[in-house]
Copies of this chain bind each other. A is one copy, B any other.
Amino acid sequence: MKKTKRVGAIIKILTEAPNKSFSLRYFCDTFGAAKSSVSEDIASAKELCEEMMLGRIETAPGVGGGVRFVPYISDEDTVKLQEELIEKMSDPGRMLGGGFLYTSDIMFDSQLVRRVATVFARKFQESGADFVVTIETKGIPVAVMTAYLLNLPLVVVRREAKVSEGSTVSINYFSGTNDRIQKMSIAKRALKNGSKAIVIDDFMRGGGSIKGIYEILGEFDVEVVGTGIIMTSKTPEKKRISDYVTILHLEEVDEEERKITVLPNCQIF
């Protein structure tokens, strides 16, 4: 196998599985090449990736070490993404009455939410999380993409306990949006006691369901090390949770004037 091809194959293997660590031995075995030449190839891949602004290839030395690709989004691209999201979100055609907005087309736009996920991945890269968690349904795509970029398992909290989940833990929580008590449940085998979680969701109004996720995770002594939300409503001002990263602020939905005001979170960096 020629050197150029080996370097290319290394880039492909690493970038398709972000944050997954590969040993030097893995590449030696894959290419049937000596350690010394694979080391050189990795150095070339690293340079090429930097040159290409593809992200960062990191090498950790020693027995437990390995090579991995760390995805990245620049401040400039983050601002551009916020502007695009705001343009879409502000379309008055989204108004459903009662202050509700139709956002499924945005939350299920996989290429768009992947870019949002890159912002969360950059933010939570060093959080030490063991998994990403969300509650069904609209937050799943951005949570899947965040889990993908950080190479973490995804856990989905269900609204209803399903037979295919095995034994579950359930809690009741107060949802301000629906103004009622709701239930959420999680498969016991989905979580390890004492692990660390990143919570991802599409939208937060009062924070009731995020708080519910914290509580259900508490049943497993899970520590929340980061919370990322695509859009947060300005009202109610008092949220049930305090420490979160949001991409957008929903300032106002004025149904009379047919005007939706969305602002970027400028403190995101």
Number of interface residues of A (CB under 8 A): 52
Pairwise interchain contact B137-A102, C-beta atoms closer than 8 A: no
CB neighbors of B among A156-210 (8 A) = 156, 158, 163-166, 187, 189-190
A240 CB within 8 Å of chain B: no
Q: Give every chain B residue within 8 A of A144 (Cβ-Cβ).
A: 108, 110, 113, 140-141, 144-145
Q: A19 — nearest CB in chain B belongs to which residue?
A: B111
A251 CB within 8 Å of chain B: no
Q: Give every chain B residue within 8 A of A264 (Cβ-Cβ).
A: none
Among B101, B113, B136, B189, the residue within 8 A (CB) of A102 is: B189
Pairwise interchain contact B104-A51, C-beta atoms closer than 8 A: no
14 new A-B contacts, CB < 8 A, other than A9-B53, A104-B156, A110-B144, are: A5-B51, A5-B53, A96-B166, A98-B163, A102-B187, A104-B164, A104-B165, A104-B187, A105-B190, A108-B144, A109-B154, A111-B148, A111-B151, A140-B141
Q: Give every chain B residue within 8 A of A166 (Cβ-Cβ).
A: 96, 102
A48 CB within 8 Å of chain B: yes
Q: A152 — nearest CB in chain B belongs to which residue?
A: B110
A155 CB within 8 Å of chain B: yes
A127 CB within 8 Å of chain B: no
Copy count, this protein chain: 2
Pairwise interchain contact B187-A158, C-beta atoms closer than 8 A: no
- Interface residues of A: mostly helix, strand, loop or mixed? helix
Q: A5 — nearest CB in chain B belongs to which residue?
A: B51
- Shortest distance in angstroms between A151's beta carbon and chain B's nearest beta carbon? 6
A25 CB within 8 Å of chain B: no
Among B96, B111, B155, the residue within 8 A (CB) of A20 is: B111
Pairwise interchain contact B148-A8, C-beta atoms closer than 8 A: no
Given A8-B54, A140-B141; A108-B154 close (CB under 8 Å): yes
- Shortest distance in angstroms between A188's beta carbon and chain B's nearest beta carbon? 10
Bound Cα distance from A16 to B113, whole angstroms: 12
Bound Cα distance from A51 to B7, whole angstroms: 10
A17 CB within 8 Å of chain B: yes
Q: A162 — nearest CB in chain B belongs to which residue?
A: B137
Q: Give every chain B residue within 8 A of A8 (Cβ-Cβ).
A: 48, 51-54
- Shortest distance in angstroms between A154's beta carbon and chain B's nearest beta carbon? 4
Pairwise interchain contact A158-B145, C-beta atoms closer than 8 A: no
